[in-house]
Structure formats: structure tokens, C-alpha cells
Structure 1
Amino acid sequence: MLEQLFIFTRGGLILWTYKELGNALKGSPIDILIRSCLLEERSGSTYYNYDVPGAAYTLKWTFHNELGLIFVAVYQRILHLLYVDDLLTMVKQEFSKIYDPKRTLYNDFDDIFQQLRKEAEARVEEMKKTKQAGKPMKNPLVKKQGQVQRGMFDGGNKKSESEDDGGEEDKIKNRSLENGDSNCRFENEELPAKGSDKVKEDVSSKTGAFDVNKLHKLRSKGGKKTDTVVKKGSKAEPKKIMKKNRVWDDSPSQPKLDFTDHVNEDEVQNVAAVAVDQGESMMDKEEIINDSESEEDEEETYKDRKVDTKKKWWFSSMFQSIAGKANLEKADLELPLKALKDMLMTKNVAEEIAEKLCESVAANLEGKKQASFTRISSIVKAAMEEALVRILTPKHSIDILRDVHTAKEQGKPYVVVFVGVNGVGKSTNLAKVAYWLLQHKINVMMAACDTFRSGAVEQLRTHARRLQIPIFEKGYEKDPAIVAKEAIEEASRNGSDVVLVDTAGRMQDNEPLMRALSKLIYVNTPDLVLFVGEALVGNDAVDQLSKFNQKLGDLSPSPNPRLIDGILLTKFDTIDDKVGAALSMVYISGAPVMFVGCGQSYTDLKKLNVKSIVKTLLK
């Protein structure tokens, strides 16, 4: 049973609604669909599942891009209604005939909808009856020769009942089956004589450069010719590399490569002195983007990326752009979207995400009218640019300084937990965030909750000593959740405004450590959970973030588990134009990139410039 069907504009104006009598939707599936799917460029999907206590809905939708309309059907997931897709298509066609941008009420569409629904249901019932009454389809691979089909399933070892003898034809067919081919290859051909060169050539051509028969011969002979095959093409057997003897002499030893800052207690300077040495944090500096590149240069860059085989399409699109086209079709968008997908993947965007983005852009462009003197590639590129900006732009405020002052007014410290996999730089970037907060006159305390890795407490202690801020530590092999709780209580007593909690690095599939992290977040309810990830990863970023969120949700005892709130992207200065990891992480988690690490000093922390990232991705 269809629960509801909505027709509304892209601006959010509801034009017409069908609602089953006596049924009311639980929750707000349409709002969640808009926020989680349509605004996040996931509209290329075919459906969306919405779960609430006591109900589970499936939502399907279609667009009329020329008119800017969205059609959404909602029904119980357990029903598996087969006519919904056809119904949406018919509703779109009929409603577009009576649509007027000046109208806001369409009560006259009720009768039309009921008729369309009856037609869609009758069509599905007719299909079911036809399918049940119809005969099973024959396999097109089934031939009259019984020996062919038996050979396909039993490897050709059994003879058919229709065979009179095991002649040369059967041997040739069985031999082709041993090489992985169907024995139908000589069905309509003249069979070659036994041992002829034609049989050898046909068999070897099917097996490629590597002949399986040769391998069987070598095995049957005990592998005697294996050495000759290996040595073929090589001049001599490689000599074994011997370890060189150590030379002990009286020459002075080289100085140790120790770049650690050995800071004594007497040499420790105050925060103002550190600020003089380090300078101002890049978080408070605005990044300037050079927009001097002309559209012609961008078009040339875009054209240079095209393959030579697409030149014909390029010229046809040029002629088509002069007169324009009534409506864009899916076939018109395939080649420019393929080029954009390849471009995104070269910039380290995960393949799955690049494909979904292209599907979403195609769904939003299909049916739109192409203006005159406008190339399809330009339309697609502009739509992709809008989609990327929409994804990377935070959906809510990420002003940490304001949130810190709000928590201070409430008389409690602002707690930030840093999580992530091993070796991404959590402790170092925690110190960068602490330095940035110190510049804004905020009292900071560090909590050493990495009680697993040797040297983690000492590393954080060194940062705290250099920045002259307090650190709370309990050593190793302690429960990190209890250490974090005691650190927050200590911060409340000594008047610290922010508590930065350092946690142990853990892989996303390490369940014991993920369980401990879930407990830490559940017990302490931090204000911000920051996932620290590397800008170097591509497809791995999708797995890391999805598994982190999944484990935090599954292992949390709370019915509303706390997931990742924001992302800190490290090593951003080492990737050149491979900035796709930022897009992959934001797309898969929905969390914004709040900090970007771009160096090794305390000042090398900045905000993510969305325009710069989008320009780099499409350059």
C-alpha cells in the first residue's frame, strides 16, 4: 500500500500530496531524504531506506529537471511495491502537462492520480499473470548435440547417447574444453586432421601467450624442463649478495642524527615567547585564491584530458551547442561525465564516490534544456562544481571559539577527543590546535589517554612543556575512559576552558580498541569528536571513516550513539593536487573538514578552503 506521494519544487514548495486515509507517516522521512540524500549529491541512487521505531519506509523519487520538480513516493518497506517506478513516471508526465509556476494548488490532479495508480497496478498484475502462465525460457546455449551440453558441465569426459563412436571430432572438442573453451568452436567448420597445425594454432590462440598443454607436458615429465624455461632469456644465474664486512678503524664517529629539542626546565619560556618564535597560526589567516585563469584556459585543460577517440563527439557537441537542444538526454551526458570521473579519480577521489557523484549530476541534468552556444561539457562541469561546493560546505556552524565560550558560560570545560588510525599525527596536530587556542586567550589542558603506545605520554608531555600548558596523565595500561573522566574533573577544578583528549591510534577493524574508544566517548560525552586522517589516502579513507562510524554505533550502549563530528586532515602539504581524500571523507561521513595540517610547526594549521579544493579537483 502506498503511504504518501509528494510533488514539490526544488525550493521546497509542496504543490500536491497524496495521503492514504487513516495512515500517518512516523518521523520525517521527506526531511531526512532532502538532507541526507538530495543535498548530499546522492540523488543518483534509486531508493532510500528510512527507519524509525515501529516503522520502516522505502522512498523512491524522480526529477523533472526542466520544470524543477521532485516526485517522491513513500511506502512500507516490507510491501515491495512493484508499480511505484511506473507510477512515478506516469505522474511526472501527466503533472507536467498541467503545471503552472504561478499556481500553488492542484486539487484537480486527485482524479488523474487515482486513474494512473489503477493503470500501474493493473499493469503489474498482468505482468505477474503472464509470467506465471508463460513457459520457462529455454537456455540459448542449449544445442541439439547432446555431447556439447554434457561437455560444458562435466568437462567433456562423458560421451553422449547420440554418439556412435569416439572419433576424432570428440577428441578435438574435449581438447578444447581442457583449455577452458566451449567445444562448439568446430560445429559449423570442417574438422582439421589429427595432429594438423590448424588444431595447434587454434588451441594456442585461444589460450593466449601461456599454453596450458605445455604446462601439463612439463608436469608429466617431472618438471625437467622447468629450469630451461626459467633460464631462457637470462645470461647467467644471479649471484648471491654477500654481506660486507664491517670496517673497524679509529676514525671519529659521525654525530648522531638527533633533532629532538632537549628543553630543560630552566630553558622553558612562557607562551608569549613561544608565540614570537612560531608566529601567528594559519587558522587566523585568509587564503587568497588566484582566479585569473580564464575560461578559455580551463576549456583547453578540459580538452587536453580527452582521449583521441572522443574527438568526433567533441566536434558534434560543438555544432550541437550552436543551436542548442530541447532536452539533455542520458546519452549526451555519458562522455563528459566519464571524463570528469577519470579526472576526479586522478585527484585521489575514491572510485565509488566519483561514480556516485557522476550519477547524481546526471540525474539532476537529465531533461534540462540546453541553451544555445553552450557546450554540454561546460554544463556538466558547472553542475559538478556546484555539487562539490555543496558537499564540502559545512551544513552547520563549526565555530569552535564560540562553542568554547558558550561552554565556559555554562561552567564546564569544552572537551575535544582526537581519534584515528595509527601514525596519522594525532598528538602533533592536537598540539597545533592547543597553540591556536592559546593565541585566543583560552586556557587549555591536555589529557594523555593514549595508555597503549609506548612513548605516547612522553610525546604529549613534551608538547605541553613547550607550550607551557598543564597535562593530565596516569601512565600506561590504564583505562582511557577513566583517565579522560578524571582529566575533565581536574579541568573543572583548575579553571581550564578546553580539554584536548589524546587517544591511541587503532585500525578500524580492531574491535577491542574500538570498544574501548566507544566506551570513552559514551562515558565522557565530549563536545567534539575529531577524526584525524591523512590526506594521502584515497579509497582507504572510505573504509576508515565508514568502519569507525559503524563500530562507534554498534559498540555503544546508548540508543543514540555518538559518531564522528568533524575531520582534521593531516599532511596536506605533501599531496600536491591530490586533494580528493577531503572529498571522499566528507562524502562518506557527512562530517566537515574543520582543520587542515600543512606542516610540522605549531602554526601549520589552517581552515579548508572549499573554493580552492573544488578548483583543484576540476583543474
Structure 2
Amino acid sequence: MLEQLLIFTRGGLILWTCKEIGNALRGSPIDTLIRSCLLEERSGAASYNYDAPGASYTLKWTFHNELGLVFVAVYQRILHLLYVDDLLAMVKREFSEIYDPKRTSYSDFDDIFQQLKKEAEARAEEMKKSKQVGKPVNNNLVKKQGQVMKGSMDGSNKKNSGGDSENGGGDGENLKGHLLENGNFNKNHVINRELPRMVNSNGKENGSSNVGAFDVNKLQKIRGKGGKKTDATVNKGSKVEPKKKVVKKNRVWDDSPIEPKLDFTDPVSENGEENIAIVAADQGESMMDKEEIMSSESESEEEDIGKNGKVETKNKGWFSSMFQSIAGKSNLEKADLKPALKALKDRLMTKNVAEEIAEKLCESVAASLEGKKLASFTRISSTVQAAMEEALVRILTPRRSIDILRDVHAAQEQGKPYVAVFVGVNGVGKSTNLAKVAYWLQQHKIKVMMAACDTFRSGAVEQLRTHARRLQIPIFEKGYEKDPAIVAKEAIQEASRNGSDVVLVDTAGRMQDNEPLMRALSKLIYVNSPDLILFVGEALVGNDAVDQLSKFNQKLADLSPSPNPRLIDGILLTKFDTIDDKVGAALSMVYISGAPVMFVGCGQSYTDLKKLNVKSIVKTLLK
């Protein structure tokens, strides 16, 4: 039974809903569909599954892009209604004929809908009956295949009768199952069948004792055709000179004096006390507080010097010369959009966007443009590019604002420290970028404390201790082989006692498939309930970013004992200065997780931390 069918505008105004619903929908499937699919550029999907306590729904939808209407059908997932797609198409066609932007009530559409539903159900029943009856078997085709198989068996038996007198006709029967697979002649099995029957140098077949022997003369003839000489053709009388042994020369050690110590992490004064320099005076202002200046739009044009020495402006836009403009095109169809979307997908993949994400984005853009009227002399490519640009900006713009400074001050008013946990895979730079965040918070007069909860990797505590000494920040550590959840809990208690405003928790790097370490991370998050969970990922990864983030979230959800598990809240992208224009990992991570990119690491000093410039990323992806 169809639970609900709604018609509403893209602005959110509900125009019509079917009146036959007896029970109200559990949960909010329509709102979830709008947030998770329509606003997140996943509208190219075929359907959406929504789970609520006591009910599971499937939602299907279609658009009328010219009128700006959305048609959504909701039904119980267990029913597998076959007529929903057909019904949505008919409702879309009929409602578009009576739609008036000035009207807000369409009570006269109730009777039309009932008739359309009966027609769709009747059509689905006819299709179901036809599938149950099935198609009759074509006896002529079966007879023809049998004749082909019989002829193949006879030919193979005649050919093999002279060589296998002991086996008689048994080989033909054994070969029968190999020659015909699913009605197709398989040449590979015939070749494999004849390989053991080699020919010797006298031209006679080898007996059963030499089955599988290899003919060297035959190999020489084959290799001789290519003009290459083999070792087998070397005369027996010629002697091969033995190779001279390479004698390793003795190493001469340099008597130069020993280099001075290169590690200046812990400088010591003459009296034996540590001499710690204040980094803030040397590093300057963090890039997080600097507004990035956007370049002008003319950057999309590059200047080339022609043969005559004059500067020529050359547009390097990849859409410019690819498609011709279409004059007077009434409505866009999938066939019109396919070439432009194919080129757009390839362009996104060259920018390191995961293939799956690029394909879904193109499907979503196609769904938003199909049926839309195109103005005269308007290039399809420019229309597609504009739609994709809007989609990318919508994806990369955070759905909810996460202002750490504001949240820290809110936690201060409540008398508790603000806790941020840094998680991620091995070697992405969690400790280094944690120190960058600590330096940025210090500049805003916030008391920060580090918690060394990476009790697994050797040297992790010492690494974080070095950052803490350089920044003159207190650090809470308990050494190695301790439970990180307990260490983090004690660190938060210590921060409450000494008046620290923020606790930055460093965790061990772990692969997304390492269940013991993922279980320990889930326990740490469950026990301490941090205010922010930051996933630290490399900007260098492509398709692996999707796997990392999706599995991290999945493991945190599966292994948490809480009914409402905490997932990743934000992303910190590292090594952003090493990727040039391959910025697609940022898009892939945000699309797959829905979490915003809050920080971007772009260097090795403490100031090299900045915000993600959405306009710059979109421009780089599409240029």
C-alpha cells in the first residue's frame, strides 16, 4: 500500500498530498530525504531507504525542472510496489497540465490521482502475470544447439581416434562437457586438450609416457622467426668464457671530525636548565585569522606570446570549444546532457575526485536539468557547468556552523573544558596539526592542554611533548601501553583542576579495518563524550578517502555501546600545499561524510593552518 504521495515546490511549499492515508508516517522521511539527498546532490539516486522505530520506508521521487516541482512517493519497504515509478510519471504528466504558480490548493486532483493509481496497479498486475506465465521454450534452438554439439563431438573423435586407441570413444564423451559451455563453442578447451599431444623431432606423436613433454626444436623455430638467437643454437665446440668476479673495494672511512648535534628540540643552557624559546614571537600570526584574497575571474584566461611577438589572450576553459550552441532547444533531454556530463566527470576525476563521487554528482546534475527549457543560443556546456558549480558550493558549504571559539567560550560559562579528539589513519600528521590548532587557540588567549593518548606508537608521547615544550603548553601523559580512554578521562579531570579551557586529545593512527584499535577509539569517544571529533586526512588521497571516512564512521557506529553513537564532526586536511590543483579529496571527504572541512594544513610551521576557501576549491575543480 502506498503510504503517501506529495507534490511540493523546490522552495518547500506543499501543493498536494493524497488524502487516503490512514496512519501518519513515523519519523520524518520527507525531511530526511530533503536534507540527505536533495540538498546534498544525491538526487540522481533511484530511491532512498529511511528507517524509523517500528517502520522502514522506501522513498522514490521525480522532478519537473521546468516548473520547479518535486514528486515524492513513500511506501513500506517490505511491499516492493512495482507501480510506483509508473505512477509518479503519470502524476507528473497530469499535474503539470493543471499547475498554476498562483494556486496553492489542488483538491480537484484527488479524483485524477485515484484514476491514475488504478491504472498503474492494473498495469503492474498484468506485468506480474506475464512474468509468472513465462515465455515458451524454443525447441528449434535447443535442437540446433544439440546438432552443433554432436558435430563437434564427431569431428574431435575422428581426429583423436588414431592416437588414442586404448581410450576408444571415451575421450569424445569426456570432451563433450568442455566443448560446449552455455551453448557457446569454447576454443580454449580444445587447445588445452591438444597441448599434451606433442610432436617429436621425427614428426611422430609422442606416446602416453611423454605426455606434457616440450619440443625444443619447435621452440627454436618459433623464436628463429623473430630473428633472435637462442642459447640452444650455440655450437658445442665454442667455449663460454667465465665471468670475472667483481671484487668489492674496501671502504675508506673519512677522518673528518664528527658533525655537531643536529637535534635542537631540547636546548640546554650552561647551568643545565632547559632553555625554551617562545615560539609565538618567531612564528607570527596564524593563517587561520587571515582572509584569503580571491583572484579575479580573468585568471581563467592565460596570455600566450604569438609568433609576431604580441601578447595573445587564450581562453583555457575546457568547455569553450567542445560543444556548439543550440538555438531554440525547447527542453533538455538526457541525450543532450550526456556529452557535457561525460567531459565534466573526466575533469573532476583528473582533479583527484573519487570516481564514484564524480559519477553521483553528474547524475544529480542531470536530474536537476532534465526537462529544463534552454534559452536560444545558450551553450549546453555552460548550463551544465553552472549547475555543477552551484552543486559543489552547496556540498562544500557546511550544513551547520561549527565555530570552535564560540563553543569554547560556551564551555567556559558552563565551567568545563572543551574537548577535541583528533583521529585518523597512520602517518597523516595528527600530532603536528594538533600543535597548529593549539598555537591558533593560544593566539586567542585560550588556555590549552594536550593529552598524549597515543599509547600505542613508539615515540608518540615524546613527539607531543616536544610540541608542548615549544609552545609552552601543559601536557598530560601516562606513558605507553595504557588504556587511552582512561588517559583521556584523567586528562579532562586534570584540565578542570588547573583551569585549562581546551583539551586536545591525540590518538594513535589506525587503519579503518583494524577492529581492535577502532574498538579502543570507540570506547574513548563513548567514555569521554568529546565536544568535537576531528578526522585528520591527507589531501593526497583520492578514492581511498571515501573508504577511510565511510569505514571510520561505520566502525564508530557499530562498535559504540551507545544507541546514539558519535560520528565524525569535522575534517582537517593535511599536506594541502603538495597537491597543486588536485583538490578533489576535499570534495570526496565532505560528500561521503557530510562533515565540513574545518582546517587545512598547508606547511610545516605552526602558522600554516587556514580555513577552506570554498570558492577557490570550486573554481579549481572546474577550470
TM-score, normalising length from structure 2?
Answer: 0.84
How far is 1:261 from its partner? Answer: 2.8
How far is 1:246 from its partner? Answer: 4.8
- 1:51-200 mapped onto 2 (5 Å cutoff): 51-136=51-136, 138=138, 142=142, 144-148=144-148, 159=153, 166=158
**Closer/same/farther in 2, CA of residues 145 and 556 from structure 1, 3 Å limit:** closer
CA-to-partner distance for each residue in 1:524-573, whole Å, 9 max, x for gaps? Answer: 00000000000000000000001000000000000000000000000000
Does the CA contact (< 8 Å) of 1:431 and 1:463 recur in 2?
A: yes
**1:220 maps onto 2:212 in alignment:** yes
Corresponding residue number in structure 2 for 1:9: 9
2:259 alignment partner, SS class: coil
- 1:591-602 mapped onto 2 (5 Å cutoff): 591-602=595-606
**Closer/same/farther in 2, CA of residues 55 and 260 from structure 1, 3 Å limit:** farther
Does the CA contact (< 8 Å) of 2:539 and 2:583 recur in 1?
A: yes
What letter matches 2:212 in structure 1?
S
Corresponding residue number in structure 1 for 2:33: 33
2:66 alignment partner, SS class: coil
Does the CA contact (< 8 Å) of 2:195 and 2:212 recur in 1?
A: no
1:396 to 384, 395, 400: 400
Distance in 2, matches of 1:561 and 1:164, equals: 66
Distance in 1, matches of 2:531 and 2:466, equals: 26
What letter matches 2:560 in structure 1?
S
Corresponding residue number in structure 2 for 1:510: 514
**1:48 maps onto 2:48 in alignment:** yes
2:56 alignment partner, SS class: strand
1:73 alignment partner, SS class: strand
How far is 1:250 from its partner? Answer: 4.6
1:95 alignment partner, SS class: helix
**1:289 maps onto 2:294 in alignment:** yes
Does the CA contact (< 8 Å) of 1:61 and 1:72 recur in 2?
A: yes
How far is 1:242 from its partner? Answer: 6.8
Distance in 2, matches of 1:226 and 1:540, equals: 49
What letter matches 2:22 in structure 1?
G
How far is 1:447 from its partner? Answer: 0.2
Corresponding residue number in structure 1 for 2:205: none
How far is 1:252 from its partner? Answer: 1.7
2:489 to 469, 485, 490: 485
How far is 1:19 from its partner? Answer: 4.3
CA-to-partner distance for each residue in 1:255-305, whole Å, 9 max, x for gaps? Answer: 3794553333745446xx421211110100111121232777799434489
- 1:312-461 mapped onto 2 (5 Å cutoff): 314=323, 317-318=324-325, 320=326, 323-461=327-465
2:124 alignment partner, SS class: helix
2:526 alignment partner, SS class: helix
Does the CA contact (< 8 Å) of 1:148 and 1:183 recur in 2?
A: no
| Corresponding pairs, count | 575
1:293 alignment partner, SS class: helix
Distance in 2, matches of 1:573 and 1:249, equals: 40
Distance in 2, matches of 1:350 and 1:502, equals: 29
**Closer/same/farther in 2, CA of residues 167 and 594 from structure 1, 3 Å limit:** same
2:32 alignment partner, SS class: helix
Corresponding residue number in structure 2 for 1:247: 251
**Closer/same/farther in 2, CA of residues 611 and 574 from structure 1, 3 Å limit:** same
Distance in 1, matches of 2:455 and 2:196, equals: 56
**Closer/same/farther in 2, CA of residues 146 and 406 from structure 1, 3 Å limit:** same
1:220 alignment partner, SS class: coil
Corresponding residue number in structure 2 for 1:586: 590
**Closer/same/farther in 2, CA of residues 250 and 48 from structure 1, 3 Å limit:** closer
How far is 1:115 from its partner? Answer: 0.6
Corresponding residue number in structure 2 for 1:533: 537
Corresponding residue number in structure 2 for 1:571: 575
Does the CA contact (< 8 Å) of 1:142 and 1:149 recur in 2?
A: no
1:50 alignment partner, SS class: strand
CA-to-partner distance for each residue in 1:559-604, whole Å, 9 max, x for gaps? Answer: 0000000000000001111100000000000000000000110000
Corresponding residue number in structure 2 for 1:545: 549
**1:278 maps onto 2:278 in alignment:** no
Distance in 1, matches of 2:314 and 2:70, equals: 32
**Closer/same/farther in 2, CA of residues 180 and 67 from structure 1, 3 Å limit:** same
Distance in 2, matches of 1:178 and 1:134, equals: 30
How far is 1:398 from its partner? Answer: 1.6
Instruction: Report percent identity of matched pairs.
Output: 75
Does the CA contact (< 8 Å) of 1:179 and 1:212 recur in 2?
A: no
Does the CA contact (< 8 Å) of 1:15 and 1:106 recur in 2?
A: yes
**Closer/same/farther in 2, CA of residues 617 and 21 from structure 1, 3 Å limit:** closer
**Closer/same/farther in 2, CA of residues 479 and 146 from structure 1, 3 Å limit:** same
5+ residue gaps in structure 2?
A: 161-170, 200-210, 232-242, 303-312
**Closer/same/farther in 2, CA of residues 537 and 19 from structure 1, 3 Å limit:** farther
1:470 to 469, 474, 477: 474
Distance in 2, matches of 1:391 and 1:370, equals: 25
What letter matches 1:126 in structure 2?
E
Distance in 2, matches of 1:133 and 1:497, equals: 73
**Closer/same/farther in 2, CA of residues 275 and 215 from structure 1, 3 Å limit:** farther
CA-to-partner distance for each residue in 1:53-73, whole Å, 9 max, x for gaps? Answer: 111000000000000000000
Distance in 1, matches of 2:139 and 2:367, equals: 36
**Closer/same/farther in 2, CA of residues 165 and 573 from structure 1, 3 Å limit:** closer
**Closer/same/farther in 2, CA of residues 217 and 431 from structure 1, 3 Å limit:** farther
Does the CA contact (< 8 Å) of 2:267 and 2:276 recur in 1?
A: no
**Closer/same/farther in 2, CA of residues 245 and 477 from structure 1, 3 Å limit:** farther
**Closer/same/farther in 2, CA of residues 426 and 216 from structure 1, 3 Å limit:** farther
Does the CA contact (< 8 Å) of 1:481 and 1:516 recur in 2?
A: yes
